[in-house]
Structure formats: structure tokens, C-alpha cells
Amino acid sequence: MSNSLQDEIQKLKKEKNAIILAHNYQPKEIQEIADFLGDSLELCIKASEIDDKDLVIFCGVDFMAETAFILNPDKKIVIPTLEAECPMAHMLPEDVLLEAKKAHPDAGVILYVNSIAEAKQHADTLCTSANAVKVAKSIPHDTILFGPDKNLGNHVAEKLDKEIIPVPSDGHCYVHRLIHVEDVELKRQQYPNAEIICHPECDMQVQKACDEVMSTGGMLRHIAQSDKEEFVIGTEIDMITRINSEVPGKKLYPLLEGAICKTMKLHTLEKVRDALVNEAPEVSLPCEVADKSRKAVEHMLNASK
């Protein structure tokens, strides 16, 4: 149901020839005004296709908006609040990656898209949780430096016969780390008929205890196509908002009610309205960093086709 602020945003969007992109973890009221909702990979692909818009409002965290900028250096990419950072992305500073590359000169380098642009520029390729295994298969190296998410790295290592070296040694998402194997056991007792799905950012013990492990976009598609009725969702809480609005008739339960990404919730309708009015705050990167990281982003997009 729309409110007057949402109506004002719709009007401004038309006047400014703007598009609103939003991640699946955005709160309901932002999901409702988005032109496109998706996981990190879907947002990257959408960002690579924006030809006819003058302004992009990105409701997600910093690395996502930066990736949109890398793919559209001539467009205005605006994030409603610059404070919306992903702490995991900042766990791999450029110098730590360069040290690891020096120590393993023959290894390939795959960075999770949840990384800062200064690190991305030194990667052979990037991945998201939706394509990590496919991307790791696509490069010729048998040894891979993988960061910053240790759990996604372990997920890849389980599926492929390649050596995965995590950089840094304990990069993780604080939201998914809140989920424990005891939560899985508890939900199995509470909802014996439900399928339990978690995100690969969860610890390996949790991944092994669940029935399926997939990206947020993967969860949406999987549930839409499934004959099953009940699901326990092991990721950020607003993923349930997205699935509920698009796949009616399913019973969805959170694996952990407290799995909330605080920085994703910093965007509000007021801030989106102000971002449209002021066309600020803008996301940008030094030309050289954007140019160098573009190669890794494009490699990932080609490898995921």
C-alpha cells in the first residue's frame, strides 16, 4: 500500500528519469518503491544494462553501489546514505591482499563482490554467492586466494577439487555469524515439514545442517518452483518480506529472528526522497581504481552467463 512519501518518490523518479535499484534485504517500504529488486549478482547485471536512465538511486550497501559505479562511470550513482557500509567488505584491505599475493604468486585471486574497490582492482575475477562455484571453475588455477568471506570460500572448497586459501583468515558477515547449528536443530523440531535453507555466508556447520545452501535470489527462485509449502529461511530477515510479496501461499519462518543487517536498514523513504531531490550523496571512485576493477567485474559477468 503506498503512502504520500512513496507517491512523491514515484513522481520525482519520473521527473528525474531515475531508476531505483534495491537489494533483497531492504525494508518493506523501500522494496515497494524499487524498480528492480535483486541479489548482488542480479543487481550487477541490472547495473550493466542501464542505458536509458540519467540517475541511479541505489538502496543497498557501499560495495553494491560502487560496483554499479564501476559499470557506469558516466552515470550519477546515488546512495541514500553513505553510512550504509558492509563491514565484511572492509575486512580485506588492499595491503593484506597484496601481501597474500606475494606469498602465493601462482594462485588465482577471486574476491567476493562484498569487497572494497581498492582490493577488487587486484583480483583476477569476482564472484557473488550465486555464482562462486561457477566462477572458481572458470579460472585455470588449482590454488585460489579467496576473500573476504571465509564461509563462502569453504562452500566453494566443498564443491571443487581446488585449494582455497582464505584472505584474511577469518573474514565473515556478522549477521550470518549470529546463526548457529542449534537454531537449525530447534527449527527442525518446531517445523518438521519445512525445508531449511541458508545462505553460504553462514558457518560451514550451519550450512551442513541445512537442506539447501543458496544466494538470496536463488532462495526466491527455488521456493517459487517448489511444491513444498513450508520453508525456514536462514539469512537476513527482510528476505522473507521479498519472498512473501512475490510467492503467495507459502509458509516462511526465519531461522533467526535477530538476523538483521543494520546498515541495510539505514535507507529510509525520507532519505530516498532527499537523494532524488538533491541527486546526492554520489558514489564515485578514482578513475584508475574503477578502470582496474572493471576487468574483474566483467570477467565475473561473462563467467556467469
Residues that bind ligand 13P (CB under 6 A): 24, 39-41, 114, 128-130, 173, 199, 201, 215-216
Tell me the CA distances in angstroms from 240 to 18, 27, 177, 182, 196, one per residue in order: 27, 10, 18, 21, 13
Judge if the upstream peptide bond of residue 254 is cis by omega within 30 degrees of 0. Answer: no
Establish if 168 lies at the interface with ligand SF4 (CB under 6 A): no
Q: Which helix H or strand E contains 59, and what residues bound it?
A: strand 55-59
Q: Does 203 bind ligand SF4 (CB under 6 A)?
A: no
With a CB cutoff of 8 Å and minimum separation 6, the contacts of 170 are 150
Q: At a CB cut-off of 8 Å and minimum separation 6, what does 221 contact?
A: none
Given the rule CB under 6 A, which of 9-17, 69-77, 85-93, 243-251 is the region that contacts ligand SF4?
Answer: 85-93
Closest CB to ligand SF4 among 16 and 265? Answer: 265
Please choose, out of 82-90, 95-103, 206-214, 280-288, the segment that lies near ligand SF4 by the rule CB under 6 A: 82-90
- Which amino acid would we find at residue 19? I
Q: What are phi and psi of 4, to 5 degrees?
A: -70, -30
Pick from ligand SF4, ligand 13P, none: which does 128 bind, CB < 5 to 8 A by kind? ligand 13P
Least distance (Å) between residue 252 CB and ligand SF4:
18
Find the helix or strand (DSSP H, E) in which 292 lies.
helix 287-303
Near ligand SF4 in 1-60, by CB under 6 A: none
Give the C-alpha separation, 232 to 194, whole Å. Answer: 6
CB contact set of 295 (below 8 Å; sequence gap of 6+)? none
Stretch near ligand SF4 under the rule CB under 6 A, chosen from 70-78, 81-89, 122-130, 190-198: 81-89
Look up cell 563462502; give the residue.
Answer: 152
Residue 264 sits in the site that holds ligand SF4 (CB under 6 A): yes
Shortest distance in whole angstroms from residue 99 CB to ligand 13P: 25
129 binds, options ligand SF4, ligand 13P, none, Cβ within 5 to 8 A by partner type = ligand 13P
| 93 interface partner picked from ligand SF4, ligand 13P, none, CB below 5 to 8 A per type | none
Binding site for ligand SF4 (CB under 6 A): 61, 86-88, 114, 173, 175, 201, 236, 261, 264
